[in-house]
Chain A
Amino acid sequence: MIKRRTFLRESTATAAALAFPLVGGAQPKPLKVGILHPVTGALAFSGQQCREGALMAIEDVNRTGIHSLGNAKLEVLLGDAQSTPQAGTAEIEKMNEAGCAAVVGAYASAICLATTQAAAKVGLPHVVDVGVADQIVERGLKNTFRFGPGYKVCAQIAVNNLHVLNTVAGKPAKTVMIIHEESLFGTGTAQLLARELPAYGFEVKEIVKHANPTRDFNNIVLRMKSINPDIVIPANYYNEYALLVRTMQQQKVVPKAIYSVLGGAASSYKFLKEFPDAANGIIDCNHWFNPKDKRAADLKKRVEAKGLFFTYEIFNTYTAVRLLADAIERAKSTDRAAITAALESSAFSDHFMPYGPTKFVNGQNTGAQPLMTQVIKGDIRVIVPRDYREIDPIFPLRA
């Protein structure tokens, strides 16, 4: 039988615990992080892939939380840029109002240009996950940090490697046709390629721009037939890339190489699975993980277990969120200025990208580099650089 005094003592303790649940084992306040991508509209597929990558990273970070903030968890605020810069800007304003400590996003270059600027106005740290246009990090915005490479680096590496491959093969390729989508990413990449290629002895026969979406690539392939370039360089998003390569296959246009620079489907497991014949032999200079790092293989397995394809959007955004979590850990604060300072001095190395420890100069991770891949024997394999090589390149694809 419970004594009156015992009952009073225990019930008082229970009431106190119910009234002040955090006094005993105080839980730190979660830290709000904005995850902003175009999950609807023309770029929805890529945006949703990015979001999946971000959510997986947050799940991993939240297993232990941010140690320096008492194991605080990251609370996600999801935003939809609706595939337009304007909607992206509006989402940044909402995230600012909601008290986000930082933002990761926003996939497309044109959207990133707008969102980084909007975030800079309110001092919100913004980690760019994909956006390759170099203007994103060339405007002196203190809040903007890009983990991956820009299109200038990608174009230079692609052209250098094309020159090496061609020289080793006895210079079979002399002419090039560039096909690019019309937004900032495609146009900027094409301009850089057109400027660089002649210096290595390649004649750029034609540069063709197309809209997003483009319903029919027959005309472009007809022009290709008439020009008969040795090398075709596409720089566009997934749908248009897939349609272009399928139309080439249909019209039996087989250049000496399809040599993509940031090709939307060129190094995509989805494209490979759906169109193995069309994908065969395609070379791509793109965002890619270190194939020798077990963590990349583990994440790939987890992604595939969810029924998704392990595309660059997923692993780029995954690592971008991990970079931000590392900065918050070192900042030991939710203060935006402290997180920005921690990103500036970041030497984040706990990742599976072929970049080494991060070192930001004007917001750009100077160690970031693309890898060259080629579809060989039904798989996407790294061919260049030698440090990451899985298989020897096949160039040219036909004599």
Chain B
Amino acid sequence: MLDVAILLPSFLNGVTTGAVYALIALGLTLIYGVLHIINFAHGAALMVALYAVYFLKNRAGIDPYLALPLVVAAMFALGYGLQRVVINRAGHGKDENILLVTLGLAIVLENLALLFFKSDTRTIETAYTLTTVAIGPATIALTKLVAFAGALAAATVLLWVVHRTDLGRAIRAVAKETQGARLMGIDVEHVYAMSFGIGLACVGAAACFLLPAYYVNPQVGSGFVLVAFTIVVLGGMGSFAGALLGGLLIGIVESLGGLFLGESLGQIGIFAIFIAVLLFRPQGLLGARP
């Protein structure tokens, strides 16, 4: 088991998987950081994005990677619209209401998918689905390497937007002090909707990287969203760098845990680290001290 030919691919597998986890978690942490709510509809949004990628490939013949701009734009529009039309209005500014609205949205989206697409598990076939790349003694799926590079690129763009643009400054201002930002002339409702839109756009990008090697069905999001929640808390609520680090860490721990302890027991590693961080560093790995 300690053979490098086994350890290295397992480690690389964890890193590549972790990058996609991180991308999903980045969207979640952005929404939390600005709106101060946990978006329970995040998993359902991933499912919607995966279906979009699936139908673009199967009906229009658009490759998942080429579909990236389309899916990201569509998911951004969906997020923006949902925040302005549904969440903002139904939530009445109360956190507990917004929480329940996102939970309700998740249930509605999953059941709509069940109604229209049935519970059928769908996959796509591409020319590169089974292609592998040799890295030393390890053989890694090309789709995983692309997912890794794509997730890091998407995370970089997100960090650039947040730290280097006017929108990013507005987002950070609203996240830090909503009333102050409003008094400075920032359209807070617009920033809320933009944040929600960008959060869902991250999920759209993740879907494009995931589907060539994965599947979609109405329940697919729930498996990812639990991991994403863990990453957000582990990295520090609202911390982008924390989400990125947390995602990679969870991916590696999950992979090596699965290798040494078995796929069922391997999940223990994730939650052991999670509990340890909460005990010794409650603000998360890179979260700000309260």
**Residue contact A44 to B264, C-beta cutoff 8 Å:** no
**Residue contact A211 to B9, C-beta cutoff 8 Å:** no
Q: Could you say which of A99-107, A219-227, A280-288, A348-356 contacts chain B?
A: A219-227
**Residue contact B119 to A45, C-beta cutoff 8 Å:** yes
Residue A41 lies at the interface, judged by CB distance under 8 Å to chain B: yes
Minimum Cβ distance to chain A for residue B135 (Å)? 13
- Per the bound structure, the CA–CA distance linking A313 and B225 in Å amounts to 30
Residue B157 lies at the interface, judged by CB distance under 8 Å to chain A: no
User: Nearest CB to that of B224 among chain A residues?
Assistant: A215
Residue B259 lies at the interface, judged by CB distance under 8 Å to chain A: yes
**Residue contact B215 to A242, C-beta cutoff 8 Å:** yes
Residue B114 lies at the interface, judged by CB distance under 8 Å to chain A: yes
Residue B154 lies at the interface, judged by CB distance under 8 Å to chain A: no
Q: Could you say which of A243-251, A318-326, A372-380 contacts chain B?
A: A243-251
Chain A residue numbers with a CB within 8 Å of B9 are 218, 222
Question: Interface size bucket, A side?
Answer: 35 or more
**Residue contact B217 to A44, C-beta cutoff 8 Å:** yes
Known: A45-B121, A45-B217. A209 touches B10 (CB 8 A): no
Residue B13 lies at the interface, judged by CB distance under 8 Å to chain A: yes
Beta-carbon contacts under 8 Å, A227-265 to B: 238-239, 242-243, 246, 249-252
Interface 1/0 per residue, B213-244 and A, CB below 8 Å: 01101111001100000000000000000000
Chain B residue numbers with a CB within 8 Å of A225 are 6
Chain B residue numbers with a CB within 8 Å of A210 are 262-264
Residue among A182, A219, A220, A274 making CB contact with B123, cutoff 8 Å = A274
**Residue contact B223 to A250, C-beta cutoff 8 Å:** no
Residue A161 lies at the interface, judged by CB distance under 8 Å to chain B: no
Residue B255 lies at the interface, judged by CB distance under 8 Å to chain A: yes
**Residue contact A219 to B120, C-beta cutoff 8 Å:** no
User: Nearest CB to that of B218 among chain A residues?
Assistant: A44
Known: A210-B263, A226-B6. A47 touches B215 (CB 8 A): no
- Per the bound structure, the CA–CA distance linking A138 and B145 in Å amounts to 50
User: Nearest CB to that of A39 among chain B residues?
Assistant: B119
Residue A71 lies at the interface, judged by CB distance under 8 Å to chain B: no
- Per the bound structure, the CA–CA distance linking A209 and B123 in Å amounts to 24
Known: A40-B119, A209-B263, A214-B263. A219 touches B10 (CB 8 A): yes
Chain B residue numbers with a CB within 8 Å of A250 are 129-130, 132, 141
Beta-carbon contacts under 8 Å, B87-142 to A: 111, 114, 118-121, 123, 125, 129-130, 132, 139, 141
Interface 1/0 per residue, A86-109 and B, CB below 8 Å: 000000000000000000000000
Residue B29 lies at the interface, judged by CB distance under 8 Å to chain A: no
Residue B166 lies at the interface, judged by CB distance under 8 Å to chain A: no
Chain A residue numbers with a CB within 8 Å of B218 are 40, 44
- Per the bound structure, the CA–CA distance linking A109 and B120 in Å amounts to 21
Beta-carbon contacts under 8 Å, A41-100 to B: 41-42, 44-45, 47-48
- Per the bound structure, the CA–CA distance linking A213 and B214 in Å amounts to 12
Chain B residue numbers with a CB within 8 Å of A209 are 262-264
Chain A residue numbers with a CB within 8 Å of B215 are 239, 242-243
Chain A residue numbers with a CB within 8 Å of B259 are 219, 222-223
**Residue contact A238 to B121, C-beta cutoff 8 Å:** yes
User: Nearest CB to that of A43 among chain B residues?
Assistant: B119
Residue B39 lies at the interface, judged by CB distance under 8 Å to chain A: no
Interface 1/0 per residue, B139-177 and A, CB below 8 Å: 101000000000000000000000000000000000000
User: Nearest CB to that of A187 among chain B residues?
Assistant: B264
Residue B178 lies at the interface, judged by CB distance under 8 Å to chain A: no
- Per the bound structure, the CA–CA distance linking A275 and B214 in Å amounts to 13
Chain A residue numbers with a CB within 8 Å of B111 are 40
Known: A44-B119, A222-B259. A211 touches B114 (CB 8 A): no
Known: A209-B262, A214-B263. A222 touches B214 (CB 8 A): no
Known: A215-B214, A249-B130. A208 touches B263 (CB 8 A): yes
Chain A residue numbers with a CB within 8 Å of B184 are none
Known: A41-B219, A238-B121, A242-B121. A208 touches B132 (CB 8 A): no
Residue A293 lies at the interface, judged by CB distance under 8 Å to chain B: no
Beta-carbon contacts under 8 Å, B244-290 to A: 255, 258-259, 262-264, 266-267
Shortest 10 CB-CB distances between A and B: which pairs? A44-B119, A210-B263, A219-B258, A45-B119, A218-B13, A209-B264, A219-B259, A250-B130, A48-B119, A182-B264
* 8 sampled A-B residue pairs with Cβ under 8 A: A40-B111, A44-B219, A45-B118, A47-B119, A208-B263, A209-B263, A218-B9, A223-B6
Chain B residues near A (Cβ < 8 Å): 1, 3, 5-6, 9-10, 13, 17, 111, 114, 118-121, 123, 125, 129-130, 132, 139, 141, 214-215, 217-220, 223-224, 255, 258-259, 262-264, 266-267
**Further contacts, 5 of them, CB under 8 A, given A40-B114, A216-B258, A223-B259:** A44-B217, A208-B262, A219-B259, A239-B217, A274-B123
